[in-house]
Amino acid sequence: MKSIRFTLVLFLLSTLLFPQRTFLATEETFNPNFLISDEELQDWSSMGRPDIQAFLEERGSFLATHRTEDKDGISRLASDIIYRSAIDNKINPKYLLVKLQKEQSLITTQTPSQKQLDGATGYGITDGCGWTCETYFNNRGFGKQVDSAAGIMRWYYENVSTQSWIKRPPLGYQIDGQYITPTSLATAFLYTYTPHIEGNKNFWTLWQSWFDQVYPDGTILKTINGADVYIIQEGKKRKFASMSALVTRYDPKHIILVPASELSRYDLGADISLPNYSIVHAGSTYYLLDYNTKRPFANSEMVGTLGYNPDEILDVTEEALHAYNTGAILTSETANPLGEIIRLKENNALYYLQDNQYFPIYDDAILNINFSHLSVETATIEKLKGFVQGPPVRIKDGTLILVEGDNKVYVIEKGKKRHIASEEVFIGLGYSWNNIVTVNEFTGIAHETGQPVYLRAGVTAVADLPSSTQNTPENENTDITSPDDIQTKDVMVRTPSSSLAFIGAQFETPVDSYIVTDVNTGDVLSGKNVDTVRPMASLAKVMTAYTLLKEGLHLDDDTTYNDGAHGIHDPAFVQYRIKTGERVRNEHIFEAMLISSINAAARMLVSSVATESTFIKNMNVQLASWGLTNTSLVDVYGGGVQNDTTAREYATIFSKTTADETLREYLGKTSYEYDELFDLDGYPHHFDKHSNHLTTETGLPFTILASKTGYIEEAGDNLAMLVERKTDKKQFVIITLGNPNHTNKFEEPKAISIWAMGL
């Protein structure tokens, strides 16, 4: 499956186009025309249930322990009610937390009244009738109030085009004597809910205070014209008092330039004045400084015993060490005060050893990030005897990572990986794509997923900065060699507007071609451009899978990977994390091909039953026997633009192939997980979720029985689904070809499918 890799490839493109440009987040003042973005308001997964509970507990909120009825009368914790309402209505739980504070101060009030709880989000309490409104009485109670506050926002989104009274951009409105022109639907909806400027300013202020984008811990910042460099830690800015204090801890190439107004947002923490790994003497005690920890020596003699030169000891005051945490005492039992890195001879595994513990290191990349001061020693497993296993090593805060098998860029903060929401956010915060480190999936798993990183509304571009202000040391060369001449324009094939053709009930959509068929009768219930020939992309893998089963593929056998025979080295395609000589059970390769849409997996399986050329010929013979004259295949994985089909013919393909129970079972899986039978690189474990994100979405009026995604640039996003309507178990095949919205590629297929349930 060809991947646009939005959060990486466009970074390459942006740097190609603007190699001498730094983009900076700015301090934002209240703008009544823009409160929050639609992306923020609808980011329903921004906080999990534990995150909401932690938010309430950290603020000592009454709601942290409050249990009451939800909208259905079931007793739940307040955090659970908030979480479920956010998920059910696809609205950001942060919005609900702000509403609870804005309307009834329920986040900070220690002993709220029953009236405050009953009107928790102010839903139904209008200027006209206040607390006596019938709408309020029908939605009284914490559970109903929270759900209604989220539900009405979702309702606004779904009905804004049909209900003229719902405020919307770019229309202007007189509010409190001021002319307001909302610049986002979210802003317009907030004014629809609360038609007052002051009330919405209160909302904005709370959102800014609690959730407005701040740089994650571990970010290194410098003002454009200033000399001081700071690191963000625990939400405070700490100045590096010397260059040695900086370079012994962090690589200066990670410095981000910001205006002075950005730094002014942070409280000032203690300076970092001493080089890392210094030996210091304060009072009667000697310490080894290890980042934010001071480790005391058991006595002064121990300093020399452990090999430190007395001439290198720094005399400091106790005050200078006040900001350091006190760590474990260094004694004669401490073999390596800074710890050591070993690589086992038996399995090539890496471990960090310190004191009496060993910590797994899942990726060599972590060595350069966390342990550039240590060399790697080879050892046998006997070395670990007497040590206690600790948790996997977490990547240093502020590091940008890309996890293999995932197309998101994350920044690490406090052991969690926070998704940088978009290219705009990445560039707006001043990050450099050169600083992204690719790590394996094990490392990704070891870091829990935290809240996404967004950008504040205002972004200032500071162009053509002098070399002294570049965010790379010594004006490092920022020229880039891009993979395969990155496209700078949309190349998706489209049907001319003069040639549009519809069948049956019509659904307005930017998707170039779609079809809805009745599985039992084969009737076309609705369609657009159903006979237009389009590239099928990875939808071709369904035909490959069907032919594999037909030609006798044994799923309980295994196949050995050979890079020369099976590899796909085009950087625009998703790569299979596998080495030549590694062996995998066929059923798991089958999953990788259909669920992750791995191209090399298709070639591996085909090689076990026939030559590729013979196999492709056999597939085309099968297509011809079905009377599909507009469908042809040139490879087994769908990478070539010449793999053609139409919506009508692919609906036939999907109906016939999913009639095979085995194939239907695999296309219906939402995820997989397996270990290689024979591993060479020390990373035998594989896992992934279905590339169709709708397979895990709740609340849909249909069940997805089988599905396959497909994408190359010329095709746009394709999706094939066999679904079953929940009300009567009627089954439909729904095919969408040529979806131009790659960023939100499931929204239109979902909308078409929901609409089709009414046919």
Helix (H, G, I), strand (E, B), or coil: what is residue 350?
A: strand
For residue 473, what pLDDT is reported?
Answer: 29
- Tell me which amino acid residue 428 is: G
In terms of residue numbers, what domain contains 168?
A: 38-211
Could you read off the pLDDT of 118-154 as tens digits, one per residue?
Answer: 999 999 998 889 899 898 999 999 999 999 999 999 9
Q: Tokens 């310190």 label which residue?
A: 354
Mean pLDDT (whole number) for 29-56: 84
178 vs 195, 621, 702, CA distance in Å?
11, 70, 46
**Tell me, what's the pLDDT at 51?**
73
278 against 519, higher pLDDT: 519
Q: Say if CB 35 and CB 204 are below 8 A apart.
A: yes
Is 70 exceeded by the pLDDT of residue 115? yes
Domain co-membership, 205 together with 300: no
Q: Which residue in 357, 341, 342, 233 sits closest to 291, CA to CA? A: 233
User: From CA 249, how far away is CA 446, in angstroms rounded?
Assistant: 23
Q: Is residue 109 part of a domain?
A: yes
Q: Coil, strand, or helix at residue 114?
A: helix
| Residue 8 clears pLDDT 80, i.e. is over it | no
Name the residue with higher pLDDT: 117 or 323: 117
Mean pLDDT of 448-474: 45
Residue 479 has pLDDT above 70, yes or no: no
Q: What is the pLDDT of residues 517-563, one digit of tens each?
A: 999 999 999 999 999 999 999 999 999 999 999 999 999 999 999 98
CA dist 171 and 165 (Å) reads: 11
The beta-strand segments (E) located in 333-435 are 340-344, 350-354, 357-361, 376-379, 388-389, 400-403, 409-413, 416-419
Helix (H, G, I), strand (E, B) or coil at 410: strand
pLDDT at 488 over 60: no
Regarding whether 293 and 156 lie in a shared domain, the answer is: no
For residues 20, 9, 367 and 227, what is the CA-based torsion angle, rounded to 10 degrees? 20
Please, are residues 143 and 68 in contact by the beta-carbon 8 Å criterion?
yes
pLDDT for position 408 = 83
| Rounded distance between C-alpha atoms, residue 250 and residue 234, angstroms | 17
What total of structural domains would you count in the chain? 3
What average pLDDT score do residues 322-327 get? 86
Sign, CA torsion 580/583/586/592: negative
User: How distant, in Å, are the alpha carbons of 253, 467, 478, 576 from that of 475?
Assistant: 10, 6, 8, 36
Do 312 and 181 have their domain in common? Answer: no
Same-domain check for residues 718 and 579: yes
Q: Does 299 lie in the same domain as 151?
A: no
Q: d(Cα 46, Cα 211) in Å, to the nearest integer?
A: 11
pLDDT higher than 90, residue 267? no
| DSSP per-residue letters across 221-284 | EEESS---EEEEETTEEEEBSSHHHHHTTS-GGGEEEE-HHHHTTSEE---B-S-TT-EEEETT
Q: Mean pLDDT across the stretch 413-428?
A: 82
Residue with tokens 């460099």: 229
- What does the angle CA 98 – CA 104 – CA 110 come to, to the nearest 5 degrees? 95
Q: Is the pLDDT of residue 476 over 50?
A: no
Average pLDDT over the chain, rounded to an integer = 85
What pLDDT score does 748 carry?
A: 93
AA letter at 28: E
Q: Are strands 75-77 and 67-69 parallel, antiparallel or unpaired?
A: antiparallel
Among 547, 559, 529, which Cα is nearest to 676's? Answer: 559
Which pLDDT band, with edges at 50, 70 and 90, does 470 fall under? very low
204 and 283 both lie in a single domain? no
Give Cα 209 to chain centroid, integer Å.
24
Please check the confidence at residue 461 and state whether its pLDDT lies above 70. no
CA distance 71 to 505: 36
Please, which residues bridge with residue 22 across strands? 462
Contact assessment for residue 589 and residue 604, using Cβ atoms and an 8 Å cutoff: yes
Whether residue 184 is found in the same domain as residue 302: no
Contact present, 406 and 460 (Cβ < 8 Å): no
The amino acid at 445 = I
For residues 334 and 354, the answer to whether their CB atoms sit within 8 Å is no
Same domain? For 185 and 318 the reply is no
pLDDT score at 490: 61
Query: What confidence tier does 353 reach under pLDDT thresholds 50, 70, 90?
Result: very high
C-alpha dihedral, 45 to 48 to 54 to 56, nearest 10°: 60
Residue 89, token pair as written in the block = 């209505």
**Which domain CATH number covers 558?**
3.40.710.10
Give the model's confidence band at 269: pLDDT under 50 very low, under 70 low, under 90 confident, else very high: confident
pLDDT for 63 beyond 90: yes
- 706 and 588 inside one domain: yes
Q: From CA 303, how far away is CA 332, in angstroms rounded? A: 10
Q: What is the pTM of this model?
A: 0.44
- Among residues 457, 439, 353, which one has the least CA distance to residue 403? 439
- The predicted-structure confidence for 685-718, as pLDDT tens digits, reads as follows 888 889 999 998 888 999 999 999 999 989 999 9
Q: Radius of gyration over alpha carbons of the chain, in Å?
A: 29
629 and 744, same domain (yes or no): yes
| Domain finish residue from 162, 196, 211 | 211
Higher pLDDT, 214 or 53: 53
Q: What is the pLDDT of residue 573?
A: 63
Residue 388: inside a domain, yes or no?
no
pLDDT of residue 91: 95
Residue 155 has pLDDT above 60, yes or no: yes
637-693 tens-digit pLDDT: 999 999 999 999 999 999 999 999 999 999 999 998 899 999 888 878 888 889 999
Last-in-domain residue among 326, 348, 365:
326
Verify cis geometry, omega within 30 degrees of 0, for the bond prior to 684: no
Give CA angle at 240 (234, 242), nearest 5°: 165
pLDDT tens digits along 162-195: 999 999 998 999 999 999 999 999 999 999 999 9
Residue pair 501/484 in contact by the 8 Å Cβ criterion? no
Residue 264's pLDDT band, with cuts at 50, 70 and 90, is low
> Is 171 within a domain?
yes
Residue 599 pLDDT more than 50?
yes
Does residue 482 form part of some domain? no
Least reliable range by pLDDT among 2-11, 109-118, 430-439, 708-717: 2-11
| Strand spans (E) along 558-675 | 558-560, 583-585, 644-645, 671-675
C-alpha to C-alpha distances, 535 to 112, 331, 693, nearest whole angstrom: 60, 68, 22
- How many percent of the chain have pLDDT more than 70? 88
> 533 with 657, same domain?
yes
Phi, psi of 73 (to 5 degrees): 85, 10
Contact 352, 339 (CB under 8 A): yes
Give the pLDDT band of residue 501 (cuts 50, 70, 90). very high
Q: Is 654 exposed, middle or buried (0-12, 13-18, 19+ CB in 10 A)?
A: buried
In a domain, residue 351? The reply is no
User: 402 and 437 in contact (C-beta within 8 Å)?
Assistant: yes
Q: 84-113 in b/e burial notation, b at 16+ Cβ within 10 A?
A: bbbbbbbbbbbbbbbbbbbbbebbebeebe
Residue 528: Cβ within 10 Å count: 26
pLDDT at 249 over 60: yes
Q: Give residue 758's pLDDT band: very low, low, confident or very high (50, 70, 90).
A: very high
CA separation for the pair 653, 667 (Å, rounded): 14
In a domain, 543, yes or no: yes
Q: For 720-746, b where at least 16 C-beta lie within 10 A, e where not — what string?
A: bbbbebeeeeebbbbbbbbbeeeeebb
Q: What DSSP designation does 387 have? A: P
pLDDT of amino acid 17: 30
- Burial (0-12, 13-18, 19+ Cβ within 10 Å), 127: exposed
Q: Which two tokens stand for residue 513?
A: 């071609």
Q: Is 528 domain-assigned?
A: yes
Amino acid at 658: T
pLDDT at 318 over 50: yes
Q: How many alpha carbons fall within 13 Å on the CB side of residue 68?
A: 20
3-state secondary structure of 162: coil
Percentage of the chain lying above the pLDDT 90 cut: 56
436, β-bridge pairs: 400
Q: Which of 439, 359, 365 is nearest to 391 (CA)?
A: 359
Does 50 score more than 80 pLDDT? Answer: no
Last residue of a domain, one of 326, 361, 383: 326
Q: Which helix (H) or strand (E) holds 371?
A: none
Same domain (yes/no): 196, 288: no
Q: Is 394 within a domain?
A: no
pLDDT above 60 (res 466)? no
pLDDT of residue 478 exceeding 70:
no
What's the pLDDT at 82?
96
